[in-house]
Structure 1
Amino acid sequence: MREYKIVVIGGMGSGKSTLIRSIAAGAVVDTDVANSDRLAADKATTTVAMDYADIDLPNGDRLRLYGTPGQQRFDFLWPVLLRGASGVLLLVDGSRPDAQATLASYLQVVRQHGADTPLVVGVTRLDLLPAPYLDGLAAQACVDGVPIPVVPTDARERAQGVRLMDVLMSELEAQALVARHG
């Protein structure tokens, strides 16, 4: 049996808690409280510590999902949660005008605290855009010159969350193969 620690990171309102709930089919421990920062994201609640789900996979492996809080004031938790991560799902709210700056900021966080950790970017809320600009985000999604998969994702849809996890698991397998065969 293998265990995978997957950290879901991204800005406030990007869909981290929603994604974890959809993948885990609702069996989640969360630390949501009333949102006091409606300027950052117009939503009723926000995560203040982390979300957590423990999922047994059909092959006997275990998936542990950790969702970070998106508010900058909780950024001290990000390195703690990234430590020892098997993989990272970075969610970017594609409807925000600052999506590219947000992507760059979080890529820096992952580069600093989980440099060799496989990473996949999920772009959410694309249904709110008249013309999605995934190409621009995909061109920017690189760490040390290595492109990172960018996947349009509706965090509310379990099948799309599972697809995002499948892409990340493929990245983990590819990294393991490279490590074994140099």
Structure 2
Amino acid sequence: MAEHVVLFAGPMGSGKTTAIRSLSEIDVVSTEATNTDRVTADKETTTVALDYGEITIDDVTKVRLYGVPGQKRFDFMWSILAGRARGLLLLIHNDAPDSITLLLQYLDDFQELSARGAVVIGVTKTDVAERPSVADYSSALSVAFPERLIPVFTVDPRNAEEMRTLLLTLVASVEMRELLTPTAATENI
């Protein structure tokens, strides 16, 4: 059975834990603690180490889902969990003050994973803020990464089918990238 490790990243409140819960076939391992940064995200709890779930895509493909904390003060976990990952599913909430800059900052923070793996962007909370549009995100990505095609979707992390579409897109991108650069698949095992 083929296995993929996928990292869910993004700012606090973007829906990483919820997305993993909506996808996982097992009980999600979660390290939630009381949120002491209510200014950044007005929610009761926040991830402080990781979230972990699993999903079987088909008879031959299993995906391990790792979610990292959204707060920079826990960024030491980012590099630990990114080491084995082959794909990055980056969630950005559309109601952030400057969500496009935030997106580019997170891609910079995960540049090593982005360079060796595949990336898919999910824009959440478009029901709360209509702008920027998917086209605005795509335009910013094409300027910042003219050599890469990075898919951008609007998504509700509570919706398992929408999240599955993002995940399948990411898995297909990972597998295509591995076919095109076979040594990349064996370097990180």
Deviates most, 137-146 or 27-36:
137-146
User: Which residue number in structure 2 is paired with residue 47 of structure 1?
Assistant: 47
Contact 1:85 1:114 in 2 (8 A): no
Is 1:93 aligned to residue 81 of structure 2? no
The alpha-carbon deviation at position 174 of structure 1 amounts to: 2.0
Flag the 1:90–1:131 CA change in 2: closer, same or farther, 3 A.
Answer: closer
Among all aligned residue pairs of Structure 1 and Structure 2, give the percentage whose two residues are the same amino acid: 38
The total of aligned residue pairs comes to: 180
Cα distance between partner residues in 2 of 1:5 and 1:113: 12
What are structure 1's unaligned runs of at least 5 residues? Answer: none
Query: Of the candidates 140, 147, 161, which is equivalent to residue 163 of structure 2?
Result: 161
The alpha-carbon deviation at position 114 of structure 1 amounts to: 4.6
3-state SS in 2 of match to 1:48: strand
- 1:9-52: CA deviations, max 9, x gaps? 10000000000000115720000111111001011110000000
Contact 1:55 1:63 in 2 (8 A): yes
User: Which residue number in structure 2 is paired with residue 109 of structure 1?
Assistant: 109
1:22 partner amino acid: S
What are structure 2's unaligned runs of at least 5 residues? Answer: 183-189
For normalisation by structure 1, the TM-score amounts to 0.92
Is 1:170 aligned to residue 156 of structure 2? no
For normalisation by structure 2, the TM-score amounts to 0.88
User: Which residue number in structure 1 is paired with residue 186 of structure 2?
Assistant: none
3-state SS in 1 of match to 2:41: coil
The alpha-carbon deviation at position 131 of structure 1 amounts to: 4.4
Deviates most, 113-122 or 30-39:
113-122
- 1:96-142: CA deviations, max 9, x gaps? 12201110111101213552111101111111124452211111225
